[in-house]
Structure 1
Amino acid sequence: MCYQVVERFSVCGCLYFQHAVDPCEAYGQRGHVVQEKVVLVGYTCDKHSARRAGNVPRSNNWSDSSYSSKDF
């Protein structure tokens, strides 16, 4: 089975990056399906970010995981 990794923002679901297909022997044959594997990254894209709209004070420090750069 062929796989394709697709990275999407975790909140809005917008596309971050779409990787090339990792083909199997049946790639390109009629009726063959490419299985998409979604990896959630970041928080929101620029289009859906509340910060860009100016609705959130700059003092908020949102993180996309339980770790922040200050922990390292």
Structure 2
Amino acid sequence: MPRKVGEYFDALEGKYEIEKLNNGEIRLHLSAQFRLSIRFNFYSGFWSRRIMLDIQENILEIIKRRCEYQRAKQ
């Protein structure tokens, strides 16, 4: 029997926030909420948060590189 989508993990919300810094630079924040319904032990929650953090850091690094590349082209 195939499992239902979202049976064990659901990404509930993802959001970007732009913060303008005093030195004219911009800081981009990325946050996400998710639901985990695996009840093995605390390790599942720990590793889920760790994986989501890693994904978010990679997304922000890609955005940073693209912005810096565009700025250098100007």
Structure having the higher helix fraction is 2
TM-score, scaled relative to structure 1: 0.27
TM-score, scaled relative to structure 2: 0.27
